[in-house]
Chains A and B, each alone.
Chain A
Amino acid sequence: MDVKDLVKRFGALTALDGVSFTVGEGEIFGLVGPNGAGKTTMLRIIATLLLPTSGSVKVFGYDVTREADKVRPLISYLAEDSGTYRNLSGYEYLSIVAKIYFSSKVDAEEAVEEAVKISGLEDRIEDKMKTYSKGMKRRIQMARALMTKPKLAILDEPTAGLDVFHSQYLRGVVKDYVKSEGGSVILSSHNMLEVEYLCSRVAFIHKGRIVVEGEPQTLKDRYNALNLEETFMRVIEWAS
């Protein structure tokens, strides 16, 4: 994925101000920044939901603005706080999504079976999703996002608000997915431990600009910090 000089304005507000970066195949790329830094806007543009004011985003060579219909089959988007269809069971939801993505019935059924395994919900998969806890809802959404074997998974705060058990489970799922399928992942997070554990490269974003980018260890060394959180604080202080 290639992002070049991306600018997004909402009226007088500039949410993204000339952002450029790349994400390679099989890479987990982390976007880290304070609230309102522009992370979600960035991910929404990549997910073909928002249009950039200027600049370009290309996913496997396809432009997200002009060739959105070619980009969508390659990506999966997990929105922050995305809910579920309360009156469908987890299994029904996964089946419906599989039927949308796969024209063959066999492929769709295989994808659902895979998704059921990813979710780890076992018998609860047959229950209506309104009975799910927040963690279970996030698991089903993660399973939905990865069952289509996307070339690029876009995950906005994938573990926000979840307990340690659900968070750890989902991190494991993401790591396994990249390892087994070789897909790329771009995620945003406030959790520095998560970013450090998952991401091969990170970008610190502040006021719509990428202030620093690199491998977590390189950044820690450059800023002489013990962990990524300390690095983040020093970078943001410097950038402000």
Chain B
Amino acid sequence: MGKLMPLVEKEVKDLLRDPRIYIGLIIPIIMLPLMGFLLSTAMTSTMEAAMKEFNIALVDYDESDASEDLATILSQVGFNIYPIHSESLDKAVREARVLGFKALLVIPKGFSQNLLNFGRSEIYVYTIIEKVGIGSASVYSAIDNALNKISEILSVQLISKLAPQVEPEAVRNPLNVTGYTVIKDRVIKAPPEALFGQLLMGYGIMVPVVLMVLAITMTQISATATAVENEEKTLETLLTFPVARYKILLAKLIGSSLVALIGGLVFTVGFFFYYEGIFTMPGLTEGTVDLAQALPLPPPEAYIILAVSLILSILFITSLGVVIGALSSDVRMASSLVGVVVVPIIIPSLLIMYWDLSTLPLLLQLLVYALPPSYPMIIAREMITSAIPIEAVYGIPYSAALTLFVMYVTSKLFAPEKLLTLQYRLRLRRRRRVEGLE
């Protein structure tokens, strides 16, 4: 233990002060909340701007009291209505465009007559899109909402006129649906769509994304830390110190894991703000239920299983990074190798994020369960809403065995005899490949 701590101190200090590492760690905490804030602000302000000057042109071919009432109601709910008088519909559309209106409303002849005859009355809405964006879509949805509201008022009036003794709402919506969602043994009085944000984004995507980024960061950091030793030829000196090889390896694993955990924490904070920024936009938080309060907490053993799988996963990934770094003669070579190795980590993460694993083909399921980093993702996701899948529990001894094997291979690699030979062979292979390409 005595000789381990100075080595860990060396690893942590050298890594945390390396601009290649700390810039990578700082960026998420600045960029992600900034992205969330900018996206949220941009969307909100675009929608507000679109709503602020809601100028709509109106062609009223009916010229009845009912059509005038319709225009008045639209003005009252915030639209600026400008009547235009064109001979034809084409000319009206052209005029509305030229005058910069956002939409053209056409009330055809017979509008009021149809209403009086209890028939369906037509209204035509021409949304004028000059720029593609959220603003254009919000114009149409605002008019649509207003017309639906008017349609609702009219239907209530018509029902009252036809059958004064009947409750208009009972005719309009004869089915009164109340949605419930059952998660675990808890029944929540809310439809699933009200839980969508928290369920899908919170647990289905956010947890796997954070763990995936943590896994990639760890591989990158441990590979860089070891490759730098090769590049600077400090590993050779380190291996002549009176320290057991496993302690040198352990120091690398602990040092890289600590730094990557700091990175993971920073990323989580950044991602949380990004997530908050996106989900605090008007309309998106309406009708949601606090899932954390509505659901019972997972049992303590779930947290223990999660912690064990997380530790095994961290050791597996950092060992893998150290192997990559040890085989690389410099940081550049380590980065290229990491780029290849992280692909098998990213693919299962995406599968966990977007698919129900039990519905996947057997080969893809095997790919997911073959890698220790998949287990904390599955466990963290499932422990909130359901029981931890038995495959994930069986995965713990499997992950432990695989991690021990990788660590054993890594410790064996820390013999310079093997390292120098392997590095030489890799360099030779790379040179041959480059020459072959030329």
- Listed in ascending order, the chain A residues whose CB lies under 8 Å from chain B are 10, 44, 47-51, 69, 72-73, 75-79, 81-88, 92-93, 95-97, 99-101, 103, 128, 141
Contact = CB atoms under 8 A, between A and B. Distances in A.
Given A48-B239, A51-B417, A87-B13, 16 more contacts: A10-B421, A49-B417, A50-B417, A69-B244, A82-B232, A86-B18, A87-B14, A87-B15, A87-B17, A88-B10, A93-B10, A96-B10, A99-B2, A99-B3, A100-B3, A100-B241
A191 B202 CA distance: 67
B236 A79 contact: yes
A86 B232 contact: yes
Contacts of A84: 232, 234
A78 B242 CA distance: 15
A97 to B, nearest CB: 7
Nearest to A92: B13
Nearest to B239: A49
Contacts of A83: 231-234
B359 interface: no
B232 A69 contact: no
Contacts, number: 84
A48 B415 CA distance: 10
A97 B55 CA distance: 76
Interface centre among A10, A97, A100, A141, by most chain B C-beta atoms within 10 angstroms, is A100
B243 interface: yes
A161 to B, nearest CB: 14
14 contacts: A44-B416, A49-B240, A78-B237, A79-B233, A81-B233, A82-B233, A87-B13, A87-B16, A87-B17, A88-B13, A92-B13, A96-B9, A97-B241, A128-B17
Contact of B237 (A51, A82, A103): A82
A79 B416 CA distance: 13
Given A10-B421, A50-B416, A87 B240 contact: no
Which 3 pairs between the two chains have the least Cβ-Cβ distance? A83-B232, A87-B17, A99-B6
B214 interface: no
Nearest to B232: A83
Contact of A72 (B236, B240, B416): B240
Contacts of A92: 13
Interface string B219-255: 0000000001001111011011111100000000000
Interface residues of B, number: 30
B378 interface: no
Interface string B143-172: 000000000000000000000000000000
B242 A88 contact: no
B420 interface: yes
Majority secondary structure, A binding face: mixed
B253 to A, nearest CB: 18
B10 A77 contact: no
Contact of B7 (A48, A79, A81, A100): A100
A220 B398 CA distance: 68
B236 A49 contact: yes
A77 B416 contact: no
Contacts of B16: 87
Given A83-B233, A88-B14, A96-B9, A48 B3 contact: no
B240 A75 contact: yes
Contact of A77 (B2, B13, B240): B240
Contact of A103 (B2, B17, B243): B2
B416 A49 contact: yes
Contacts of B13: 87-88, 92
A93 B13 CA distance: 10
A87 B18 contact: yes
A170 B7 CA distance: 27
Nearest to B415: A51
B10 A85 contact: yes
Nearest to B420: A50
Nearest to A99: B6
B16 to A, nearest CB: 8
Contacts of B10: 85, 88, 93, 96
Contacts of B5: 99
Interface centre among B6, B240, B417, by most chain A C-beta atoms within 10 angstroms, is B240
A59 B243 CA distance: 18
A103 B1 CA distance: 11
Contacts of B243: 100
A51 B419 CA distance: 12
Interface in B1-49: 2-3, 5-7, 9-10, 13-18
A110 B10 CA distance: 20
B418 to A, nearest CB: 10
Contacts of A81: 233
A73 B416 contact: no
